[in-house]
Amino acid sequence: MIRSSLFILIAVIVFLAGCSHEQDKNVLTNQDASESIQKEEPENNNSNNHNSPDSNLNEPHSEIQNPPDSNHNETQTSLTDEEILLKPPGRFAGSNYDEQKVQAALDQLPSNLTTDQYKDELLLLLAEDYRPYVTNFMNFDTEISVNNERPEGKITLPVNRNLHISILLDASGSMKAQINGKSKMDSAKEAIQTFADKLPNNAEVSLRVYGHKGTGDQKDKRVSCDSTEEIFHGQGDQTNQIKTALQKVEPAGWTPIANALQSVKKDINPETTDSVVYVVSDGIETCGGKPAQVAQELHQSEVKTIVNIVGFDVDNEGQKLLRQIAASGGGEFMSVNNDEALKNVLNKAYEQLRGEWTRWKEKGEGDANKQKEQKQGEINRARETMQGLANKENSHLLAALNYLKSKDNQEFPNTELLKKVNERKSFAWGYARDTGKRLYNAVSENGIRVYGDIKEEGNKNIDDLTNKTNR
């Protein structure tokens, strides 16, 4: 009995050991299979990565077997509005549109596409070319730039003009005479200083006196007739020094107008482009010279010079002779009888210079408005053209959509695709509207600002100069 019990116990142990071994064997087999699968997966993934997402862009009916994984789409980088609209146009965009050819291409599409896949295929066929207009918007310069040469300070001449202004002051003995309690010399000095203060900053200015030596006696005639001296030579922004130079000048001798005009030739810089002479005198030539001849020589010289004569309290015979000098020099003769009239005559010449500010302002305002209107017109044309393209594209897409719908495909996502087609139109149309509006407003703001700056600067200088002229 005991032997039989032992036999049964041994049999049970052997059986249990066999089962345990089989179970361990199965566990090992499953682990090996798992490891084998894990080793193969990277190879499969790498193989899939070799397929470029753009490999079928040129094929509007590419074989798309499965819809893209939604999680994968969420990780893709979103495109900007410009990047979307800068994509190449479809095969049948613009003048290439042919409804029959489009329908033939649509017939080649698989019937199991998703909404997004249908949209992509339709755009590969029918997307319009927005690139010229988007590029124009992206690179559009909204700045308004008006760079007309302006007078600065008092007045500044253009850099390509070199103006020389010569002022010749008669210091003969007759300038001692008084008018309304003031000597002619003092009146002339004040008028010359006022005039000089208003000359262009970068003009070359010289002040020369004549007849300031000797006396009116015969014995001093030679000394006096030979006397002419440049007492100031500088730029227009240095004319405050003229007052000091004039203080030592006193009326003395004879009237050598011809000699003074002859001396002007050496005062003029060879690089001068414009030369003007103002002779302030109360009488005619008294030293035997030929001022009319010298004035003509100056006028006909390489540096063409205009000779103007300001006759200060001159009798009729003297005016006649001084007019001849001015005519020979290509200038004008102006007769005055008191110090205010003298200032007014010199201010007349300055009025011409002040007019440069008025012309600068008016031209600048016009240029600013013209630029603004031209740029706004360009923006509006681009916006309207792009919106027209969006309408045209939408019309073609809707026609294609209706054709696909008519094919009785029960799985065709008509409602969803219609929504995306109309969203595409709203997107392109709205981009043109919003971008055009932003650029238009920027141009408007810049144009108004530049116009205002020019107007303010011009008016300020014109007002300042008017006040100076009326002093």
pLDDT at 292: 92
Least confident of 67-71, 273-277, 452-456: 67-71
164-213: pLDDT as tens digits? 888 999 999 999 988 888 888 998 888 888 778 777 677 788 999 999 99
- Domain edges within the chain: 80-154+356-471, 163-337
- Number of C-beta neighbours around residue 97 at 10 A: 19
**Could you tell me which of 225, 242, 224 has the C-alpha nearest to residue 233?**
242
CB 228 within 8 A of CB 254: no
Pairing state of beta strands 228-235 and 274-281? unpaired
CB atoms within 10 A of CB 224: 25
Q: Each residue of 424-470: pLDDT tens digit? A: 999 999 999 999 999 999 999 999 999 999 999 888 878 876 765 66
Is 80 exceeded by the pLDDT of residue 232? yes
Task: Note if the pTM is more than 0.85.
Answer: no
Q: What is the pLDDT of residue 341?
A: 62
pLDDT at 434: 97
Q: How many helices (H) and strands (E) does the chain have?
A: 14, 8
Q: In the chain, helix, strand, coil percent, each to 5?
A: 60, 10, 30
Structure tokens at 412: 């065709």
Highest mean pLDDT among 318-332, 406-420, 424-438: 424-438
Grade residue 340 by pLDDT with cuts at 50, 70 and 90: low
DSSP string computed for 330-362: EEEEEEESSHHHHHHHHHHHHHHHHHHHHHHHH
Share of the chain above pLDDT 90, in %: 48
Cβ–Cβ < 8 Å for 174, 219: no
Contact 184, 282 (CB under 8 A): yes
Mean pLDDT for the chain overall: 80
Closest CA to 347 of 305, 295, 310: 310
Could you tell me which residue, 363 or 12, shows the higher pLDDT? 363
Q: Can you give the length of the chain in residues?
A: 471
Summarize the confidence of residues 368-385 as an average pLDDT: 97
CATH number (3.90.1150.10, 3.40.50.410, 2.40.50.100, 1.10.10.10) of 163-337 reads 3.40.50.410
Alpha carbon distance 264, 428 (integer Å): 73
Average pLDDT over residues 236-259: 88
Summarize pLDDT for 80-136 with one digit per residue, the tens.
999 999 999 999 999 999 999 999 999 999 989 999 999 999 999 999 999 999 999
